[in-house]
Structure 1
Amino acid sequence: MGSQSVTIFLVFLSSLAATSVDSTSRSFLARGSSFSVEDVSSSSSLLTSPDNTFSCGFYTVGVNSNAYWFAIWFTNSKEKTVVWTANRDNPVNGHGSSIALRKDGAFVLSDLDGSIAWQTNTSSINVHQAELLNSGNFVLKDPHGKIVWQSFDFPTDTLLPGQLFTKSKRLVSNVGHQMFSSGYFSFFFDSDNVLRMIYDGPDISSIYWPNVNLGLFQNGRTNYNSSRIAVLDDKGIFTASDQLHFNASDVGLGIQRRLAMDPDGNLRLYSLHDSSGSWVITWQAIGKLCDVHGLCGRNGICVYAPDPTCSCPPQYEPVDLTDWRKGCKRKFERTCNDSEFVELTHVDYYGFDLNFTQPASFEECRQICLQDCRCLAFSYRLTGEGLCFTKSALFNGYSSVDFAGIIYLRVPTRAQTSNQPTLNGSHLDCRSLNAIGAIEVILAVASWWFLFRKRGISASMEDGYHAISSQFRSFSYSELKTTTNKFKEVVGRGGFGAVYKGVLADERTVAVKKLGDVVQGEEEFWAEVSTIARINHMNLARMWGFCSEGKHRLLVYEFVENGSLDKHLFANENFLAWKDRFKVALGTAKGLAYLHHECLEWVIHCDVKPENILLDKDFEPKIADFGLAKLCQRSGHGSSELTRIRGTKGYMAPEWAMNLPLSAKVDVYSYGVMILELVKGIRLSNWVVDEHYSFGEGMTELMRVVRIAKAMIRSGEDSWVDNFVDPRLRGKFNRNQAATMIKAGLSCVEEDRNKRPTMESVVHDLTECEDDITLK
């Protein structure tokens, strides 16, 4: 190789030791140079951008892989995140493959047998050198420095700041994490000049973003433009000619970013956390992942249980449990005669409608399907007038409590049991859950029993159908009175009311909360609680239903076995072990981060405290009472005016007393108090107070502890952690985790809310030491 040649090295993922940047590394490659994949052991084999942000070369996944890509990646990201691959669908062999900038100007990637796996179209151009720029753009330049070819013109799944996105380009998802082959999801300018996302699978193509149920202008877009162009700038602001505009939640200069079409079909904007090398989601196109088409394949249904999960409907089974993109297959032979229907409430399959009739009665809709052999199912909705949609194919299935309709799957009569309830929904009004509660109980219990217990369906299939058929619903007051044995067993009391233990007819144990001081009418109350019910996360207590009957307002939650955190943390005996305290700290932070940043509705809890953190049988935390104070819609300033909301003295942030607009940082403050209590094992706050209390009262203990902790840290003494941690643990704790929790707690209780971290940042810091399980 010539003296001007620079080798490009192989970088492995985080499972391999990171190669340090050598002083001999270059950002360019001269014409006539070539190198093979075996050259990766050379200390000078790194091609980097001048500022070391990006690296370029051969890339493989794992230690033993023999597949290699010519790629560009972020040098300092934890997983060496790839932003571009030349040969994404055609990896080359780990032995004998090579890359060359030939003398004729072509940049060529050759496989083991000498065949060309990929090349640029520059063989007739006087190319002087190849260069990796600070922007992440890999370019070929002529002798005058003019760019004659650039990777920015051929994006894969990622758009970088400053990279123009035009009508000839599209972002295509990878098939999976660290699997670089082209997937099924794309982000592109459509023929009408509008940016869209589409699922383009082996069986169907289906646009799913922006909202397909709304018109162009309702989605805030326009097609009155002749130029199809968009760009993400260095501040994290995306602007497009169709009026699509969004920005990162941490908008500003000095942050490395990428916009990616992810393998799950969502478009997300990421920011790089400098100290850890981890990526943080700062914007995403779709809040509810089941809105993405094609996720669960033909006949499959996407259901929140609580996270998005693929499931098969009754009388169907997965084609391949390891790959839900293949969907579900029938367990019966289709016939055009001798048909019946299985009813699934709040379920729909988008598209493939054979007809659209309005108005139509339920029976008319049923007959339309029965008389058409192509009809596999029909969807019936009552939204003022009956709407009937008959389906020729079952794709894009989803289950959502806010879908005002029912899908009726066509199956042979012999697939039904003789004593199954008759499915006749012509009288249903899906705008009111009170009207469908009794029918849902019958279907959830009877269908579950007959379809699964009697027919030996697998446990995973049973769970999937149960998740679909037992959606959030309304309960009558008499039903909950029976469920709780006349409200006999009180398991908790809080600012919103008493909580009673009960058992539903399907043998699920529940916690029933009686609300006080609720003045909303039934429709308003239903609208609020249904929004809360759509919020799903493993660290949030799951709401299963409600009652709004006369003066009665009740909420029905999953029952969490080990009760609230305060009963274990402050107990004289059987207090929490260290591993459980750390688990509570991390899980609670994840739940709050979800409420603040990820869920469809932006929710400030407003009363984070040990009494509102429930512990399941494995001591995994579940946050209770979220959303009951007030649901806050996202605003341009990231805050919302909240007034007359009760909190708990000692856990309330200073801005409560200062009458400032409240943001998610009030929850960060309360979490800070709680995490310090987790470490120290004592109550640092006083008890209940309403909105009229003076903030300065009763803070002596917390302030004293904070001052002492900060002084100990400044002193630099090795024993400062030991002096802070709960002495009841007798030294059985992880020093690194304890130090991280204490420092996180201190930063969270800063009086200046602008100095407090976000919950996402706290999650990141705690996750960094999660695997350190050594006890002192």
Structure 2
Amino acid sequence: MDISIFFLLLCLLQTLSLSSSNTLDTLKGTSLSVEKPSDKLVSENGEFAAGFFPVGDNAFSFAIWLNKSSTPTVVWMANRDEPVNGRGSVLSILADGQLILTNSLGITIWTTKAGDLTSLEVTNLQLQLQNTGNLVLHNSKGVVIWQSFDAPSDTLLPQQALTMMSSLISRKSQDDYSSGNYKLFFDYDNVLRLLFQGPTMSSLYWPDPWLTDPGQAGRSMYNTSRRALLHDSGYFESSDHFQFNATDFGVVTHRRLTLDPDGNLRLYSLQKMNGSWDWVVTWQAFSDPCRIHGICGPNSLCSYDPVSGRRCSCLQGFNLKDETDWSYGCEPEFSIPCNHTDETSFVQLAHAEFYGSDIFPYQNVTFQFCQEQCLNRCDCNGFQYNYNEGSGYYNCYPKYLLMSGHQSPNFVGDFYLRLPKAGLFYSKIPDEEFKLQCSANLTKQIIRTYENKTVKLLLWFATTAGGMEVTCVLLVWLFLFRTSKHPNPDPASQGYLLTTKFKRFTFDDLRKATRGFKEVIGRGAGGTVYKGVLPDQRVAAIKQLDEANQGEAEFLAESPGGMHASDSGETREHKRLVTLVKEYINIGTATRKSRIEEIIDPMMPGKYDKVKMELLVKVALQCVAEDRDERPSMKQVVEMLIGHED
């Protein structure tokens, strides 16, 4: 009996522990507090989390974010426009089936709509974060009361549908999660559109607003379901026949379709790069961001370059209104006088256009007429004057607001900005000088080359130095050729010394011949003499010097022609011919004792000029000096050789 009670209590404690722990994927009949950072829901696969997310100093919003990316990525937010403080704020499940978020004062900041629910439907309510990133409020029977997929913020996840009842609204900026100026939604004509909602005006900008029929953009207005869906494979489809595939279509990975703060709709894929998971753009609605309305605000121009990106600039005579936010645009430093048409003029902006805000469109009119219409109105800030290829005549569009300014070489048309003649804004340059007189049929490719002066200088220096060294070597070789027209082949490669024609043995050869220097047959002042048997069975006396610096007399006595008959050992530095000659020349031994002939092939008696050979050896040694700074220049080599001829 006691054992049964013990096990019953143990099971009860485990159940209470699991139900009170908020690090699981399900919250049962309790609440989440902002004061506990660990008080959150985590999906079963561990990749999504839901809880209070910091959006500023002591400011939190209840959100869902992806944990797998290198930095947490918010995919949904409840109270994005009204964050709560870090104390006393709670998310609770009410008995009537509502989710409610209250701040420290108990004021309701955000809530869901429960609808007409029976008492049975709201029993045993559970808030669960699924592996798809969907936060679902359901009862014990699995009936969904509310889910976050029905109320997206700025992001659409795979298997999350966008319907006529939902929309995506961009955030203000990358660091500001509050609602921005752009919206993705189904319009009344059943077409999926992008809308700019500015502080003073709004305008549709996707599909292209100048299309009178959405069918020209491949859209259909006849499907009233108004539903769009992103698939796991990267395929997006909409009921208005708009569809696209991600560049990595078919790859199994996390994806999100986000309406970014700049008004561009982009599809992102999570990819592993350099050991971390980061988002990569795999589709976007606009390759040229300047086509997005309101991106630079009023009284400004947007220009785009694929290398440098988007650039906003105020029009002449206007100053930036808010240096932290281009969406507020620029404000004028002047005022347009009324009833004084002679005090204002126009500055031509080539290939520039401003969308909307037309006072009245005029078709098939002259430039002079269009200019006069603008001058006669106090509210006219400029006019668009374009040639219509379809109709074959020019159209005029006076503007009372300068919104969504865009400058691109691909745009055929100019805008004429109205400015006062007086002061800084007066321009003496005629309008005609601003025009580009280019044929529409002429296409010319401009090839530009860019030079780095520092790299160019280094290349010239390296080339010159290399050329001087090659020339120096060639001059020495040419001098040798003139000295001896019948050069002998180099026998060193055949195993013989250059000066004696004797067979050259290595230290290993002599060690084998003497059987490890075992049999001593005599001793001299400079070393020990051993008996050795050569490979051809000849018996030889082999002397090993005790030191490598024995002195010149001992060295010459042991080395016919100024050379060793063998190496003095692997651990000792072997002094080859060039090193020996250099030492002889440096100390004056060869020249002082007239022994220059000892480094010359003995097969050349009387065939060389001794003085020329001395000069040749000196020049050659200088050219191969270890220190580059000590090597002579090409000019110095020529002067030394020519000086001798003179």
Same fold by TM-score greater than 0.5 = yes
Contact 2:419 2:426 in 1 (8 A): no
Number of positions where the alignment pairs a residue of Structure 1 with one of Structure 2: 435
Shift of the 385–98 alpha-carbon distance from structure 1 to 2, 3 Å rule, reads: same
Shift of the 561–236 alpha-carbon distance from structure 1 to 2, 3 Å rule, reads: same
Q: Which residue of 2 aligns with 1:47?
A: 41
Residue 70 in structure 1 maps to residue 62 in structure 2: yes
CA-atom RMSD in angstroms:
2.8
Contact 2:55 2:61 in 1 (8 A): no
Query: d(CA) in 2 for partners of 1:221 and 1:566?
Result: 59
Q: Which residue of 1 aligns with 2:217?
A: 219
Residue 59 in structure 1 maps to residue 63 in structure 2: no
Q: Equivalent residues in 2 for 1:712-751 (5 A)?
A: none
Q: Equivalent residues in 2 for 1:598-677 (5 A)?
A: none
Residue 200 in structure 1 maps to residue 197 in structure 2: yes
Q: Which residue of 1 aligns with 2:394?
A: 386
Query: d(CA) in 2 for partners of 1:569 and 1:179?
Result: 53
Shift of the 310–573 alpha-carbon distance from structure 1 to 2, 3 Å rule, reads: farther
Query: d(CA) in 2 for partners of 1:90 and 1:195?
Result: 28
Residue 362 in structure 1 maps to residue 367 in structure 2: yes
Contact 1:6 1:47 in 2 (8 A): no
Shift of the 362–174 alpha-carbon distance from structure 1 to 2, 3 Å rule, reads: same
Residue 525 in structure 1 maps to residue 519 in structure 2: no
Q: Which residue of 2 aligns with 1:182?
A: 179
Q: Equivalent residues in 2 for 1:530-541 (5 A)?
A: none
Query: d(CA) in 1 for partners of 2:103 and 2:413?
Result: 55
Q: Which residue of 2 aligns with 1:408?
A: 416
Deviation of 1:157 after TM superposition, in Å, equals 0.1
Query: d(CA) in 2 for partners of 1:113 and 1:83?
Result: 28
Deviation of 1:184 after TM superposition, in Å, equals 0.5
Deviation of 1:563 after TM superposition, in Å, equals 8.1
Shift of the 568–231 alpha-carbon distance from structure 1 to 2, 3 Å rule, reads: farther
Query: d(CA) in 1 for partners of 2:375 and 2:21?
Result: 68
Structure 2 runs not aligned, ≥5 long: 1-14, 466-646
Query: d(CA) in 2 for partners of 1:573 and 1:173?
Result: 61
Q: Which residue of 2 aligns with 1:353?
A: 358
Deviation of 1:150 after TM superposition, in Å, equals 0.5
Shift of the 417–226 alpha-carbon distance from structure 1 to 2, 3 Å rule, reads: closer
Query: d(CA) in 1 for partners of 2:127 and 2:460?
Result: 61
Give the partner amino acid of 1:279.
Answer: W
Query: d(CA) in 2 for partners of 1:228 and 1:77?
Result: 32
Contact 2:364 2:393 in 1 (8 A): yes
Q: Which residue of 2 aligns with 1:600?
A: none
Query: d(CA) in 2 for partners of 1:162 and 1:140?
Result: 18
**TM-score w.r.t. length of structure 1:** 0.53
Question: What fraction of aligned residue pairs are identical, expressed as a percent?
Answer: 40
Contact 2:351 2:411 in 1 (8 A): yes
Partner SS for 1:354: coil
Deviation of 1:119 after TM superposition, in Å, equals 1.8
Please, which of 398, 412, 418 is the counterpart of residue 406 of structure 2?
398
Shift of the 131–419 alpha-carbon distance from structure 1 to 2, 3 Å rule, reads: closer
Deviation of 1:569 after TM superposition, in Å, equals 14
Listed one character per residue, the Cα deviations across residues 614-642 of structure 1 (whole Å, up to 9, x for unaligned) are xxxxxxxxxxxxxxxxxxxxxxxxxxxxx
Deviation of 1:265 after TM superposition, in Å, equals 0.3
Q: Which residue of 1 aligns with 2:320?
A: 318
Listed one character per residue, the Cα deviations across residues 381-440 of structure 1 (whole Å, up to 9, x for unaligned) are 234422211111110011111111111111122146767122248x96x6x536xxxxxx
Listed one character per residue, the Cα deviations across residues 183-211 of structure 1 (whole Å, up to 9, x for unaligned) are 01011101100011010111110111111
Q: Which residue of 2 aligns with 1:244?
A: 242
Partner SS for 1:218: helix
Q: Which residue of 1 aligns with 2:281?
A: 281
Q: Which residue of 2 aligns with 1:80?
A: 72
Contact 1:38 1:96 in 2 (8 A): yes
Query: d(CA) in 2 for partners of 1:109 and 1:572?
Result: 75
Deviation of 1:571 after TM superposition, in Å, equals 6.5
Query: d(CA) in 1 for partners of 2:364 and 2:386?
Result: 10
Shift of the 563–209 alpha-carbon distance from structure 1 to 2, 3 Å rule, reads: farther
Shift of the 268–6 alpha-carbon distance from structure 1 to 2, 3 Å rule, reads: farther
Query: d(CA) in 2 for partners of 1:357 and 1:390?
Result: 9
Query: d(CA) in 1 for partners of 2:59 and 2:154?
Result: 19
Contact 1:300 1:313 in 2 (8 A): yes
Deviation of 1:564 after TM superposition, in Å, equals 7.8
Query: d(CA) in 2 for partners of 1:121 and 1:224?
Result: 31
Give the partner amino acid of 1:409.
Answer: L
Listed one character per residue, the Cα deviations across residues 575-632 of structure 1 (whole Å, up to 9, x for unaligned) are xxxxxxxxxxxxxxxxxxxxxxxxxxxxxxxxxxxxxxxxxxxxxxxxxxxxxxxxxx
Give the partner amino acid of 2:443.
Answer: F
Q: Which residue of 2 aligns with 1:234?
A: 232
Please, which of 129, 132, 144 is the counterpart of residue 132 of structure 1?
129
Q: Which residue of 1 aligns with 2:291?
A: 291
Shift of the 415–222 alpha-carbon distance from structure 1 to 2, 3 Å rule, reads: farther
Partner SS for 1:379: strand
Deviation of 1:568 after TM superposition, in Å, equals 7.0
**TM-score w.r.t. length of structure 2:** 0.63
Partner SS for 1:277: strand
Q: Which residue of 2 aligns with 1:327?
A: 329
Listed one character per residue, the Cα deviations across residues 191-246 of structure 1 (whole Å, up to 9, x for unaligned) are 10001101011111011111123341221111121211110011010001101001
Contact 1:109 1:119 in 2 (8 A): yes
Partner SS for 1:366: helix
Give the partner amino acid of 1:312.
Answer: C
Q: Which residue of 2 aligns with 1:110?
A: 102
Give the partner amino acid of 1:420.
Answer: K
Partner SS for 1:325: helix
Query: d(CA) in 1 for partners of 2:95 and 2:227?
Result: 35
Larger-gyration structure (1/2): 2
Query: d(CA) in 2 for partners of 1:572 and 1:39?
Result: 69
Contact 1:4 1:30 in 2 (8 A): no
Contact 1:69 1:85 in 2 (8 A): yes
Deviation of 1:103 after TM superposition, in Å, equals 3.5
Query: d(CA) in 1 for partners of 2:258 and 2:86?
Result: 28
Q: Which residue of 1 aligns with 2:634?
A: none
Partner SS for 2:368: helix
Please, which of 340, 345, 362 is the counterpart of residue 340 of structure 1?
345
Partner SS for 1:355: coil
Listed one character per residue, the Cα deviations across residues 256-304 of structure 1 (whole Å, up to 9, x for unaligned) are 0000000000000000014522100000001100000011112121123
Listed one character per residue, the Cα deviations across residues 62-121 of structure 1 (whole Å, up to 9, x for unaligned) are 7xx211011101111112100000111111101121122234432221111111111222
Residue 143 in structure 1 maps to residue 140 in structure 2: yes
Contact 2:419 2:425 in 1 (8 A): no
Contact 2:55 2:177 in 1 (8 A): no
Contact 1:342 1:408 in 2 (8 A): yes
Give the partner amino acid of 2:112.
Answer: T
Contact 2:347 2:427 in 1 (8 A): no
Contact 1:74 1:83 in 2 (8 A): yes
Query: d(CA) in 1 for partners of 2:314 and 2:373?
Result: 25
Contact 1:198 1:206 in 2 (8 A): yes
Partner SS for 2:217: coil
Please, which of 25, 28, 47 is the counterpart of residue 27 of structure 1?
25
Q: Which residue of 1 aligns with 2:169?
A: 172
Shift of the 202–49 alpha-carbon distance from structure 1 to 2, 3 Å rule, reads: same
Shift of the 348–144 alpha-carbon distance from structure 1 to 2, 3 Å rule, reads: same
Give the partner amino acid of 1:182.
Answer: S
Query: d(CA) in 2 for partners of 1:27 and 1:121?
Result: 22
* Higher alpha-carbon deviation: 414-423 or 142-151: 414-423
Query: d(CA) in 1 for partners of 2:442 and 2:257?
Result: 38
Listed one character per residue, the Cα deviations across residues 24-66 of structure 1 (whole Å, up to 9, x for unaligned) are x3110001x12321222x4xx441111122111111147xx21
